[in-house]
Chains A and B, each alone.
Chain A
Amino acid sequence: MEKNYYVCTGCGMLCDDIEVEAEKNIVNKVYTACRVGVAHMKEGTDNAVFRVGDKPVDEATAVSEAVAILKNAKNPLIFGLGTSSNEAQKLAIELAKKTSATLDDPSSFRLGSLVEALLQNRFKTCTLDDVRNKADVTIYWGTNPSDSHPRHLSKHSYFPRGKEKQRGWEEERTAIAIDVRKSHTAKICGNYFFEIPPGGDAEFIDALIAALSGKLPKTSYNFPPKRILELANILKGAKFGVVFVGLGLVYSLENLEPLFRLMDALNEKANFHLIPMVGYSNTRGFNENLFEETGYVNSVKFEDGAVKHGPEYSIVESLKAKTVDAALIIGYDPFSSLPRSIAKNLLEIPVISLNPFETLTSRNAKVYINTAVGGVESGGTATRMDGVKVDFKPVVETKRLSDEAVLKKIMEAL
Chain B
Amino acid sequence: MTNAMELYQMLPKTNCKKCGKTSCMAFAVALMAHELTPEDCPPLKEEPKYKENYEKISGLFKPSEGATETGLIVHEDLCFGCGNCVVACPPNVANDPYGVGSGNAPTNPNKLVLTVEDGVVKAQNLGECRRFGKNKILCNGCIVTCPVEAIEFV
A residues neighboring B (CB under 8 Å): 3, 5, 17-19, 29-39, 132, 146, 150-151, 153-156, 158-162, 168-169, 184-185, 187-188
Q: Does B84 contact A (CB under 8 A)?
A: yes
B119 in complex: contacting residue of A30, A158, A168, CB < 8 Å: A30
Within 8 Å CB of B83, what residues of A? Answer: 32, 34, 150-151, 154-155
Residues in A whose Cβ lies below 8 Å from that of B107: 3
Given contacts A33-B119, A35-B119, A155-B103, contact A188 B84 (CB under 8 A): yes
Is B88 an interface residue, CB under 8 A from the partner? yes
Determine if B60 is an interface residue (Cβ-Cβ < 8 Å).
Answer: no
B16 at the interface (CB under 8 A from A): no
Q: Which residue of B lies closest to A34 (CB)?
A: B81
Please give 9 more A-B residue pairs, beta carbons under 8 A apart, in addition to A31-B116, A35-B119, A35-B120.
A34-B82, A35-B81, A37-B81, A151-B103, A154-B82, A155-B83, A155-B87, A159-B103, A168-B93
A38, B76: Cα distance in complex, Å? 14
Residues A184 and B148 in contact, CB atoms below 8 Å apart: yes
Pairs across A and B, CB under 8 Å, 10 listed: A5-B105, A19-B105, A31-B118, A34-B83, A38-B118, A150-B82, A155-B83, A159-B103, A161-B93, A168-B93
Q: Contact at A29–B118, with CB atoms within 8 Å?
A: yes
Would A3 and B105 be within 8 Å (CB), given that A32-B83, A34-B82, A154-B83 are in contact?
A: yes
What chain A residues lie within 8 Å of B47 (beta carbons)? Answer: none
The CA-CA distance from A34 to B87 in the complex, in Å, is 13
Min CB distance, A244 to chain B, in Å? Answer: 15
Q: Any chain A CB within 8 A of the CB of B58?
A: no
Alpha-carbon distance A33/B83, docked complex (angstroms): 8
User: Considering the chains assembled together, what is the distance between the CA atoms of A37 and B118 in angstroms?
Assistant: 9
Closest to B80 in A: A35
What is the predominant secondary structure among interface residues of chain A facing chain B? mixed
Total residues of chain B contacting the partner, CB 8 A: 27
State whether B147 touches A159 (Cβ < 8 A). Answer: no
Docked Cα-Cα span, A215 to B95, in Å, equals: 48
Inter-chain contact B101/A31, CB cutoff 8 Å: no
Contact flag A169-B117 (CB < 8 Å), given A185-B147, A188-B147: no
Q: Out of B88, B104, B117, B120, which one reaches A155, CB within 8 Å?
A: B104
Determine the residue in chain B with the shortest Cβ distance to A155: B103
B145 at the interface (CB under 8 A from A): yes
Chain B residue nearest to A17 (CB atoms) is B105
Note all chain B residues with C-beta closer than 8 A to A18: 105
Q: Is the pair B87, A36 in contact by a Cβ cutoff of 8 Å?
A: no
Which residues of the other chain, B, contact A154 by a CB distance below 8 angstroms? 82-84, 86-88, 103
Q: What residue of chain A has the Cβ atom nearest to residue B89's Cβ?
A: A159
For A3, give the chain B residue with the smallest CB separation.
B105
Inter-subunit contact B102/A132 (CB<8 Å):
yes
Q: What does the 1/0 interface line of B44-86 toward A look like (CB < 8 Å)?
A: 0000000000000000000000000000000000011111101
Residues of B within 8 A of A19 (CB): 105
List the B residue with the shortest CB-CB distance to A187: B147
- B97 within 8 Å of A (CB atoms): yes
Chain B, 102-123, contact with A by CB distance < 8 Å: what is the 0/1 string?
1111110000000111111000
In whole angstroms, how far apart are the Cα atoms of A151 and B103 in the complex?
9
Q: Closest approach, in angstroms, between the C-beta of A85 and any C-beta of chain B?
A: 23
Q: How far is the CA of A162 from the CA of B103 in the complex (A)?
A: 9
Q: What is the minimal beta-carbon distance from B84 to any residue of chain A, in angstroms?
A: 5
Question: How far does the alpha carbon of A162 sit from the alpha carbon of B87 in the complex, in Å?
Answer: 12
A162 touches B102 (CB 8 A): yes
- B88, A169: Cβ atoms closer than 8 Å: yes
The residues of B that contact A155 with a CB separation of less than 8 Å are 83, 87, 103-104
In contact, A159 and B84 (Cβ under 8 angstroms): yes
Tell me the smallest distance from the CB of A153 to a CB of chain B, in Å: 6
Q: How far is the CA of A5 from the CA of B107 in the complex (A)?
A: 11
Q: Is the CB of B81 within 8 A of A33?
A: yes
